């Protein structure tokens, strides 16, 4: 399916709202780990301003795919905490000797800052 070549009828206001809801649901599914649908949802997301019937049908196909493949694309989370060797971090580093006598370069036309300076 090539959504950019779809010439089916444009959706009415009610179906456009439904289309936007479905895109939102699928984006959350991607955020939660369903990376296997990322490309397809991204391609269909670009038609949110003027979706067509074929685009909505494609969203329904993605939901059918998710229903048929419930365990695909999930990221496994390890509940154990990693062991970190804090002895390798230098808590007492002398950063002035590392960087030298430098000052932050500010833009030439920067407005005067308001409020108190941060130390």
Q: What is the pLDDT along the chain (119 residues), one digit of tens a residue?
A: 787 888 899 999 999 999 999 999 999 999 888 888 999 999 999 999 999 999 999 999 999 999 988 877 665 566 778 888 888 888 888 888 888 888 888 899 999 889 888 87
Residue 49: predicted pLDDT:
92
Q: Which residues contact 72 (CB under 8 A, 6 or more apart)?
A: 34, 36
What's the confidence (pLDDT) of residue 69? 86
Looking at the chain, how many residues does it have? 119
Token code pair at residue 12: 């009415």
In the chain, which residue ranges form alpha helices assigned H by DSSP? Answer: 13-31, 38-45, 53-68, 95-99
- Provide the pLDDT for residue 73: 64
Q: How far apart are CA 80 and CA 78, in angstroms?
A: 6
Measure the CA–CA gap between 20 and 55, rounded to whole angstroms. 11
- The answer to whether 55 touches 47, Cβ cutoff 8 Å, is yes
């Amino acid at each position: 399916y090539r959504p950019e070549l779809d010439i089916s009828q444009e959706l009415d206001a009610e179906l456009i709202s439904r289309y936007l809801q479905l895109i939102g649901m699928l984006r959350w599914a991607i955020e939660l780990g369903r990376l296997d649908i990322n490309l397809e949802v991204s391609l269909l997301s670009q038609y949110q301003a003027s979706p067509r019937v074929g685009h909505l049908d494609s969203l329904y196909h993605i939901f059918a795919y998710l229903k048929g493949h419930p365990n695909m694309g999930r990221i496994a989370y390890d509940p154990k905490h990693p062991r970190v060797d804090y002895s390798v971090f230098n808590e007492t580093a002398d950063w002035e000797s590392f960087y030298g006598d430098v000052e932050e370069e500010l833009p030439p036309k920067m407005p005067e800052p308001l409020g108190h300076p941060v130390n």
